[in-house]
Amino acid sequence: MTLEEMGKSARNASFILSSAGTGLKNATLERISCDIIKNSDYILAQNQKDITVARQAGITEALIDRLMLTKARIDGMAEGILKVAALEDPTAKVDSGWVRPNGLRIFKARVPLGVIGIIYEARPNVTVDAAALCLKSGNVCILRGGKEAINSNLALVSIMRSSLQSIGLPQDCVQILEDTSRETARELMRLNKYLDVLIPRGGVSLIRSVVENSTVPVIETGIGNCHVYIDKAADLEMGANIIFNAKTSRPSVCNAAETLLVHEAIAAEFLPRAKKLLDTKNVELRGCAKTCAILGENIKLATQEDWVTEYNDYILAIKVVENIDEAIKHINTFGSRHSEAIVTESYTNSEKFLQQIDAAAVYVNASTRFTDGEEFGFGAEIGISTQKLHARGPMGLAELTTIKYLVYGSGQTR
């Protein structure tokens, strides 16, 4: 099937899915969840093919972790689908309504966006999360995953299409591009005749390519150059635990911390404490001159490039700052507007940080790793939007809808 044909079938399927009731959509998600569990061995076998190719290609273990599926992760995906099914359907209600002086009754209702294209990299769980959220919100999706996960993605989509057919909905509510070439990706970016919106999830180069080449409206997501700032008034043990979690719990994801900022008044006491924890995970530290003076010659001197790099690995940039104002300026200059955190016992400083940091999620005394659809209570997410129009932060069901005005009259003319 050509991409043009896929787009046409997606558009036709969207007319059917958009009118499906909440009960039918939930039954579909429950069937998909069950079928994924039943086919776990098949999914794992296909995923192993991807892992083998990735290792042969020299992909880092941190990125392989993003690609790898286990029985526990598959169970988690299936459970995530059920959580989406249990969420309130945003299209099943009217936001507001009013009556005009001429008798017109106007209702503001939420409706699906329509057909959503999603371009993403080596994370098979995105295939399931994206499809589940789209189905529950009444949207059809055309998926284009990375070549690293092609076998895993094809297996997951084939299961979901079979589930759709068994429940009585069009298989083409969920489609995937088997061709992962850049040329086909660019063709998808220009499929504005059928796509209503395009959502990229991945690194800087992918996001930039989609924004620069797409003729379809784009919601930017995913780039995560996140910071943790340890204030002069911080609980130092709490700060060490937070940066350890934010950097090492899963360094390959977009909400992992990439830069640690430390107030100069507590740097000499805090940095050795933090390094002791980070050393247990063999984190490579790249510090400013003041950091190197405190921690010794074995710390690499950071370059300007380190302040803007999303490592996705066990690497952390460190800068000692004069005060909170310098920390805020650094973050707003080099950050990606994803997730930023301050550790402090000062109410004044915490409020200043919350108000002045330009990011989708800003934390006080908590790890940046919580920027996640499930952690926010959305069941899952289509991505973390770092832009300001339509949606920002973890994108759940409501962010996959738009507005339609329903107007009832009794013969009024103007």
Give the residue ranges of the chain where pLDDT is below 70.
222
pLDDT of residue 220: 81
Q: How high is the pLDDT of residue 121?
A: 82
What pLDDT does 267 receive?
A: 98
What's the pLDDT at 386? 84
Rg (C-alpha) for the chain, rounded Å, is 23
Domains annotated for the chain, with CATH where assigned, are 3-221+382-408 (3.40.605.10), 226-370 (3.40.309.10)
pTM of the model: 0.82
